[in-house]
């Protein structure tokens, strides 16, 4: 079953087309990551899914509800965690949650129960009286998630949820998100530009230049790459430049060979044969060599022609 269906979605800012015929299905009960650099269209897609803006063309449905025709009904199904903080820093965690719950119209019994569940789930019970302004980035983000979960949404939309967090806090948050999906049978849609987060998702959507360039599980995307990756780091730029043209000839074209500063990166299904050939010809000029299976960064570049770094 799919929670979200997007068909031929277009959206423009003035004369700039941000989304160019996006087609997308999001399966229920999993974490789907929308991966792309700044300017790729992922933030605009997030705004459409969260009913902040209306599509200019195409159709978007959440559980069969059209986001244009039934925005209020769609909002009753979703929870939205924005990249920018939305809690009052001068109030405690508990005060923020109580205020938000009251604004949502929750009764006392339901509100107390839901706040306690959230505090327990994210390990914040002992910090409930702390003002938000003294919390670390990771703890503040957890408090934000509890606020979103008060409405018990069926789908959560998270815009760059780990932005600004240190690596340890980022890992902890992803661990809790995966636990949340399992415990609540929820659907999570996460936008990110961080490739290291992609493996936490069960489904990935590559977006670039306003179009979907690839979709699938991380394992499947890497499996279908069709090549291994060789990298050769040369002693000098002139050495790398001189070798580049000959390596492109060996590769039979330029599509899967590229040079970045002192390094030549080559995607080839004949990795063992080609690595031997390169080392035989340019071995003394090479000070570093790697050979391995493709990463998701490799897959993204193959699909889009762009790097996330």
Average pLDDT, the chain: 91
> What pLDDT digit, counting tens, does each position of 161-170 carry?
888 888 898 9
> What pLDDT digit, counting tens, does each position of 248-283 carry?
888 776 457 888 889 888 888 888 888 888 898 899
Q: How many CB atoms lie within 10 A of CB 57?
A: 11
What average pLDDT score do residues 138-155 get?
A: 95
Q: What is the pLDDT of residue 253?
A: 60
> What pLDDT digit, counting tens, does each position of 46-101 carry?
999 999 999 999 999 999 999 999 999 999 999 999 888 889 999 999 999 999 99
Task: pLDDT band for 204, please (50, 70, 90 cuts).
Answer: very high
- Quote the CA–CA distance of 296 and 309 in Å, as a whole number: 12
- Confirm if 87 and 132 have CB atoms less than 8 A apart: yes
**More confidently predicted of 294 and 76:** 76
Which of 28, 24, 32 has the alpha carbon at shortest distance from 7?
A: 24
Q: Percentage of the chain with pLDDT > 90?
A: 62
């Amino acid at each position: 079953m799919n929670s979200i269906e997007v068909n031929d979605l277009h959206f423009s800012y003035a004369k700039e087309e941000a989304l160019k015929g996006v087609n997308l299905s999001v399966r229920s009960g999993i974490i789907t990551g929308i991966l792309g650099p700044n300017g790729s269209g992922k933030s605009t897609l997030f705004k459409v899914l969260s009913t902040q803006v209306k599509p200019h063309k195409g159709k978007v449905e959440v559980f069969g509800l059209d986001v244009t025709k039934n925005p209020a009904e769609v909002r009753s199904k979703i929870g939205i965690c924005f990249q920018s903080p939305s809690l009052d820093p001068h109030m405690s965690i508990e005060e923020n949650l109580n205020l938000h719950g009251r604004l949502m119209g929750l009764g006392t019994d339901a509100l107390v129960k839901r706040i306690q569940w959230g505090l327990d789930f994210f390990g914040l019970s002992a910090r409930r009286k702390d003002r938000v302004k003294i919390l670390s980035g990771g703890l503040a983000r957890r408090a934000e998630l509890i606020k979103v979960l008060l409405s018990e949404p069926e789908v959560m939309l998270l815009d760059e949820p780990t932005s600004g967090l240190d690596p340890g806090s980022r890992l902890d948050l992803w661990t809790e998100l995966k636990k949340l999906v399992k415990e609540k049978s929820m659907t999570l849609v996460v936008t990110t530009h961080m490739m290291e987060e992609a493996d936490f998702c069960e489904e990935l959507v590559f977006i670039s230049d306003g179009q979907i360039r690839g979709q699938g599980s991380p394992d499947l995307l890497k499996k279908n790459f069709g090549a291994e990756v060789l990298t050769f780091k040369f002693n000098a730029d002139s050495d790398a430049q001189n070798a580049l043209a000959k390596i492109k000839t060996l590769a039979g074209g330029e599509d899967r060979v590229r040079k970045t500063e002192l390094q030549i990166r080559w995607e080839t299904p004949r990795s063992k044969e080609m690595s031997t050939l390169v080392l035989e010809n340019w071995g003394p000029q090479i000070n570093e060599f790697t050979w391995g299976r493709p990463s998701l960064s490799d897959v993204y570049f193959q699909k889009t022609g762009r790097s996330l770094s």
